[in-house]
Amino acid sequence: RGIMMHDFAITEHYAVFPDIQIVMKPAEIVRGRRVIGPDHEKVSRLGLLPRYATSDSEMRWFDVPGFNMVHVVNAWEEEGGEVVVIVAPNVSPIENAIDRFDLLHVSVEMARIDLRSGSVSRTLLSAENLDFGVIHRGYSGRKSRYAYLGVGDPMPKIRGVVKVDFELAGRGECVVARREFGVGCFGGEPFFVPASSKKSGGEEDDGYV
C-alpha cells in the first residue's frame, strides 16, 4: 500500500525516505471514498537508500513507531557516516493530517539512526506547534545548527516564526528566538536568505527570514 510521501531528505551518501501511517488507497476512489487516510496498524519507518544505488535491494529500513514525518528540516551524517541524523516535524494525530489541520499538532524531533546497531533514538526539540522548517540552503544534507519554522495558530495559519538551535537537543526546549506577526496577522512558509555564502565564511544564521 502506497503512502503519502510529501518530502524526503538527503545526506552526503543517502536519500532518506519516510514510510508513514498516512496511506494511499486508490481503489477507494471508485467507491466514492477518500483516497488518503490513516493506518493505525502500520509501524512508521525510515528508509535509507545509498544515493548511487543501482537497486532498491540496497534500501535499509528502520522502524520508528509514531514518527510521521511529512516535511523535512534537514539531515546529515555523523561518526564517520555510521549515524544518520534527521530533523523533522512529527504530525499527530494522523487523522487530522488530511482535512482537519486546525486540530493538528506538529512537534519537531531529531531522530538518530545508528547504522551499526540498527537502533533509532529520538529527541524532542520543541513541543510547540511548528512546521514548514527551513535552514541555510548551504547546509542542506550537511550538519547544521539552526532552523526557522512557522508557528501554527492553528495550522495552516502561521502566526509567527521561531528559531530552533539543534545544539540544545536533549536539554529541553530548543526554541531560542521568535517573531510574532501580531493579532489578526498571518504569514506563510518562512524562507531563509543568507547574508553571505557558506564558502565566504559567514555565520550559519547570518541572514534574513
Q: Would you list which residues are annotated within the binding site for Fe cation?
A: 6, 71
| Alpha carbons 58 and 49: distance in angstroms, whole number | 6
Do 10 and 16 touch, CB atoms closer than 8 A?
Answer: yes
**Where would I find the H helices in 61-198?**
96-99
| SS3 assignment, position 56 | helix
Do 45 and 74 touch, CB atoms closer than 8 A?
Answer: no
Q: Residues marked as binding? A: 6, 71
Give backbone dihedrals phi and psi of 192, rounded to 5 degrees, phi first.
Answer: -100, 130
Residue 126, all three cell numbers: 520543541
Residue 82, all three cell numbers: 555510521
